[in-house]
Chain A
Amino acid sequence: MATTGQIALEVNDISRSFRAGARQVQALQQVSFRVRHGLVTGLVGPDAAGKTTLMRLAAGLLLPDAGNISVLGLDAATQSLQVQGAIGYMPQRFGLYEDLTVQENLDLYADLQGVPATARAARYAELMRMAGLEPFTRRLAGRLSGGMKQKLGLACALVRQPALLLLDEPTVGVDPLSRRELWDIVYRLVREHGTSVLLSTSYLDEAERCDEVVLLHEGRLLAQGTPGELRDSMRGRTYEVGTANADKRTLLARLARTPGVLDSLIQGDRIRVVMQDAAPTGLDRLLPEAGGIALKPTAPRFEDSFVALLKANGGNDIAPSPPAETPASHTAATHPGQPVIEVSKLQRRFGDFYAVNNLDFSVARGEVFGLLGANGAGKSTTFRMLCGLLPPSGGTLRVAGADLRHAAAEARARIGYMSQKFSLYGNLSVAENLRFFGSIYGLSGQKIRQRIDWALQEFELSPLAEFTSGDLSLGYKQRLALACALMHEPDILFLDEPTSGVDPLARREFWSRINALAGRGVTVMVTTHFMEEAEYCDRLAIMAAGEILTMGTPGSIKDQARSEAQPEPTMEDAFVALILAHEQNEEKP
């Protein structure tokens, strides 16, 4: 039996490209690394980093253009069947048959993996206990919650105890509580059975939970090591700045342009600053009117080292260029404006199921308001009602002064919407997309030409105006999608998971634009299941099962979870605590 430290998986100089239309996309370029036995190795990187391609190459589902992968001593390309007989693999969407019950899914994978009939009863019992699915074995897999599906998918991959487990983005879209449970299961496997695990994720906070990390970006290996090693390079360079008596967006914009500042980021009511070197210089001169600012040293995070690595490698194709500082001093945080979105007792029923129940909130002009929740919490339903795409079953809903029950079209003309999938026309050019979205909002003639010029300038898309938008990189697609949503100068901007899966630099660039818009008085509403994005909001509401669990500034929400055991709770800690408290309330009669 292999022991910890030996090599479970060895990737040697792997390259792989795909054809996408007329373009050749290099998914992986000369990547080499090793996964050691008995450890959890994280394959970390944003979307399009090459994580899934690498997983599929390791499972023998794809052949490499060059290089080789050795899995448990077998060659993944030439001995695929043997490799597949030895590993467990969970694909991105869990690989479950939704019209089969939990038990039937288990039986199927037990048959396929050749688990002997005599060994099954004990194995099933163990897996179901581990996944907490014992009461649900007769339920159809399609009727399980996201977190339960994820755990069933894992159980199916584990039905025959594998020596190596490959998990492809197992935690996408599930709530933080289920994410934690999954990590517990993974570590129990490693501890009790010595299983080796390779797990891919685009959540940088999850990288910190791994024993070792392989950091990928745009098909290239950026770094490998323990999270501690990677963090240590940043020690002494990370600080927090309180913004109690200053406008945080103005301060952020100034920090971003200060020499010596590598990275700056809004974290609730504070700003996190990463310096190029260990000694901070010149920061006290930034806000003379506020009487200087206090820098408090804070612990480095994995994300800091990722940002530092990206910048050290010449950044990516997105050159972070913070937009010009806006003179606006009327942001909602300091001067609450008039409510632009008002929701009271909002309900939406599908049959006898309440997707949204009793929602009450209002959003002021120039405010960035977030709805945070897992898939199925009711965020999208709320969003659709706010955009006038779905009529509510009860309650009132006013957007930009218009009652959506009667004047949906009027309200829609003042709304800009950008979805996670970037609803762009992939076979139109950048300029054609802009023209189209301008024209459907009624712009024409001089006005539309003016706005297209503005968008190409503002988003630095001029050199790409005639480029087919489907061939743009993720970061540029995101810019274009935002430009399209802003063509008609909306008062309210709806963003649906705008930056999940994009790399940290592109995310910062995007949010600096959003901050500038908010500074100019545009109201921004964001839905996300991504804890990091929640920190950028002025206020947010945490949703679960169609209800708002709590609402407030990110700082005050985190404060609710503060305790002796958790002096510095993260947004995720706060979320988990709220869900646990909510579930306990539900169980009481």
Chain B
Amino acid sequence: MSSGMRLRGLMRKEFLQIVRDPSSIAIAFLMPIFLLLLFGYGVSLDSEHIPLALVVEQPGADTADFSAALHQSRYFDTRLYDNAGAAQEAMMAGRVNAIVVLRADFAKQLRQPDGAPIQLIVNGVDANTARIVSGYVQGAWGKWLEHYALQRGLTPDVPVRLEQRVWFNGELRSRNFLVPGLVAIIMTLIGALLTAMVMSREWERGTMEALLVTPLSMSEVIVGKLLPYFILGLGGLVLAVSMALFLFGVPLRGSLWVLFAASALFLVTALGMGLLISTVARSQFVAGLVALVATFLPAFLLSGFIFDIGSMPPVVQVITHLIAARYYVAILQTVFLAGDVWSVILPNALGLLILAAVFLGLTWRNARKRLE
């Protein structure tokens, strides 16, 4: 009975502090809004409007036709140059990302049996974009050749026809998988960073010492911190999910309750990480740094939120299994874009459960009612 009184007192204090301290409100609500707007609008992994230099050494009907095809594509912003030197300068200056050169004998070569060669020079500094550009140009070239052959009543020289169907994210919008991943990052922030900071704040201000000399048990201290930030975290989740659905139009193909159950589970894991950090770090500065390096950065880089885990080196792939956000990102992307696919959700939920147990267990073991 008096344990209930102690917990209630502790939690009421925590809520009052949350309400009065702008920094925890900022982390819980402003940070998600900022991150979602940044990634939803500012960052796009789709390559569109790539600046492309088109060098036409001798204009003619065929070159005009091809350059019109490039112009129409939403992937390219084509600029015309009449010699390769000027185009190269533009590439050096970073004004264009690739150069397509149509030689003077383009029209003649086109009518030869083995077709016309075009030259493609790609800025390879960013290997990823370079690959995408080269693929897009090849695609545009192939499509134009096919079109060209059909116009002239010839059979296009295509032995196998590729029919593409994109599943889950039909429009190939990067926003559709970035936003669910972001929810995981936000939950990590609220869960780990905030708990680690508010715990170390108690050490720093000397209030922990006063708490510890009351009849409060260590498990009450842990629960008293877990519950308020669990509720705050769910608030952040509702905000992030609403923004995803209504502002960014990300489809939710699975069910809402699965989304919330998985989020609650992840939140407990993240809170566990934060509490574990706070058993070691006694100043807000150290706690903040440790939380960023140990939870936020790995969640960003190793969770599959942006970088596909399948294409990481095998050693790194093994390490990702220690990152709680990895399981949560997998569940979120599935629930948002595919539906309640239990064969994905259940193993990942199990991973979260194990990590939560490990973190909270370690916290339990480390947290003593002593000052060191």
Question: Is residue A114 contacting chain B, with contact meaning CB distance below 8 A?
Answer: yes
Provide the bound-state CA to CA distance between A81 and B3, in Å.
Answer: 13
Question: Is residue B315 contacting chain A, with contact meaning CB distance below 8 A?
Answer: no
Known contacts A96-B207, A97-B207; is-contact A89 B370 (Cβ 8 Å): no
Known contacts A89-B213, A92-B206, A99-B16; is-contact A80 B369 (Cβ 8 Å): yes
A62 touches B372 (CB 8 A): yes
Question: Footprint of A on B, CB under 8 Å?
Answer: 2, 5-6, 8-10, 12-13, 16-17, 20-21, 205-207, 209-217, 369-372
Residues of A contacting B369 in the complex (Cβ-Cβ under 8 angstroms): 60-61, 80-81
In this complex, which of B8, B207, B211, B214 has the most chain A Cβ atoms within 10 angstroms of its Cβ? B214
Of all chain B residues, the one with the shortest Cβ separation from A91 is B209
Q: Pull 9 A–B residue pairs with CB atoms less than 8 Å apart, ordered by A.
A: A59-B213, A60-B213, A61-B370, A62-B372, A84-B214, A90-B210, A97-B17, A100-B17, A100-B20
Known contacts A97-B17, A100-B17; is-contact A112 B370 (Cβ 8 Å): no
Provide the bound-state CA to CA distance between A99 and B16, in Å.
Answer: 8
B215 touches A84 (CB 8 A): yes
Residues of B contacting A87 in the complex (Cβ-Cβ under 8 angstroms): 213
A81 touches B207 (CB 8 A): no
Known contacts A62-B370, A85-B215, A114-B6; is-contact A95 B210 (Cβ 8 Å): yes
Tell me, rounded to whole Å, the shortest Cβ–Cβ distance linking A110 to chain B: 7
Known contacts A81-B217, A99-B16, A110-B9; is-contact A91 B372 (Cβ 8 Å): no
Of all chain A residues, the one with the shortest Cβ separation from B5 is A111
Seed contacts A96-B210, A108-B9; 5 additional CB < 8 Å A-B pairs? A107-B9, A112-B10, A114-B2, A114-B215, A156-B210
Of all chain B residues, the one with the shortest Cβ separation from A53 is B371
Provide the bound-state CA to CA distance between A100 and B13, in Å.
Answer: 8
Tell me, rounded to whole Å, the shortest Cβ–Cβ distance linking A52 to chain B: 10
B13 touches A108 (CB 8 A): yes
Provide the bound-state CA to CA distance between A98 and B17, in Å.
Answer: 9
In this complex, which of B8, B9, B213, B372 has the most chain A Cβ atoms within 10 angstroms of its Cβ? B213
A98 touches B205 (CB 8 A): yes
Tell me, rounded to whole Å, the shortest Cβ–Cβ distance linking B232 to chain A: 16
Residue from the list B16, B21, B211, B372 in contact with A112, Cβ < 8 A: B211
Question: Is residue A109 contacting chain B, with contact meaning CB distance below 8 A?
Answer: yes
Question: Footprint of B on A, CB under 8 Å?
Answer: 56, 59-63, 80-81, 84-85, 87, 89-100, 104, 107-114, 156
A111 touches B206 (CB 8 A): no
A91 touches B206 (CB 8 A): yes
Tell me, rounded to whole Å, the shortest Cβ–Cβ distance linking B243 to chain A: 29
Known contacts A60-B369, A108-B12; is-contact A93 B206 (Cβ 8 Å): yes
Of all chain B residues, the one with the shortest Cβ separation from A86 is B215
Tell me, rounded to whole Å, the shortest Cβ–Cβ distance linking A24 to chain B: 14
B20 touches A99 (CB 8 A): yes
A112 touches B6 (CB 8 A): yes
Tell me, rounded to whole Å, the shortest Cβ–Cβ distance linking B357 to chain A: 26
Main secondary structure of the interface of B (DSSP, over half): helix
Residues of B contacting A85 in the complex (Cβ-Cβ under 8 angstroms): 215
A111 touches B17 (CB 8 A): no
Residues of A contacting B215 in the complex (Cβ-Cβ under 8 angstroms): 81, 84-85, 112-114
Of all chain B residues, the one with the shortest Cβ separation from A115 is B5
Provide the bound-state CA to CA distance between A98 and B372, in Å.
Answer: 24
Provide the bound-state CA to CA distance between A104 and B14, in Å.
Answer: 11
A93 touches B205 (CB 8 A): yes
Provide the bound-state CA to CA distance between A108 and B17, in Å.
Answer: 12
Known contacts A62-B372, A81-B217, A95-B209; is-contact A111 B6 (Cβ 8 Å): yes
Residues of B contacting A61 in the complex (Cβ-Cβ under 8 angstroms): 209, 212-213, 369-371
Provide the bound-state CA to CA distance between A147 and B155, in Å.
Answer: 96
Provide the bound-state CA to CA distance between A91 and B213, in Å.
Answer: 9
Of all chain A residues, the one with the shortest Cβ separation from B209 is A91
A95 touches B10 (CB 8 A): no
Residues of A contacting B372 in the complex (Cβ-Cβ under 8 angstroms): 62
Residues of A contacting B21 in the complex (Cβ-Cβ under 8 angstroms): 99
Provide the bound-state CA to CA distance between A415 and B351, in Å.
Answer: 63
Provide the bound-state CA to CA distance between A493 and B210, in Å.
Answer: 39
Provide the bound-state CA to CA distance between A62 and B371, in Å.
Answer: 6
Residues of B contacting A92 in the complex (Cβ-Cβ under 8 angstroms): 206
Residues of A contacting B216 in the complex (Cβ-Cβ under 8 angstroms): 112
B214 touches A109 (CB 8 A): yes
In this complex, which of A60, A91, A110 has the most chain B Cβ atoms within 10 angstroms of its Cβ? A91
A100 touches B210 (CB 8 A): no
Provide the bound-state CA to CA distance between A82 and B6, in Å.
Answer: 16
Known contacts A104-B13, A104-B16; is-contact A112 B207 (Cβ 8 Å): no
Residues of A contacting B16 in the complex (Cβ-Cβ under 8 angstroms): 99-100, 104
Provide the bound-state CA to CA distance between A60 and B215, in Å.
Answer: 11
Provide the bound-state CA to CA distance between A63 and B368, in Å.
Answer: 11
B206 touches A95 (CB 8 A): yes
Residues of B contacting A108 in the complex (Cβ-Cβ under 8 angstroms): 9-10, 12-13
Tell me, rounded to whole Å, the shortest Cβ–Cβ distance linking B199 to chain A: 14
Residue from the list A60, A81, A91, A111 in contact with B210, Cβ < 8 A: A91
Provide the bound-state CA to CA distance between A512 and B13, in Å.
Answer: 51
Residues of B contacting A110 in the complex (Cβ-Cβ under 8 angstroms): 9
A95 touches B207 (CB 8 A): yes
Closest 7 CB pairs of A and B: A111-B9, A95-B210, A93-B206, A112-B214, A114-B2, A89-B213, A85-B215
Residue from the list B214, B370, B371 in contact with A113, Cβ < 8 A: B214
Tell me, rounded to whole Å, the shortest Cβ–Cβ distance linking B225 to chain A: 14
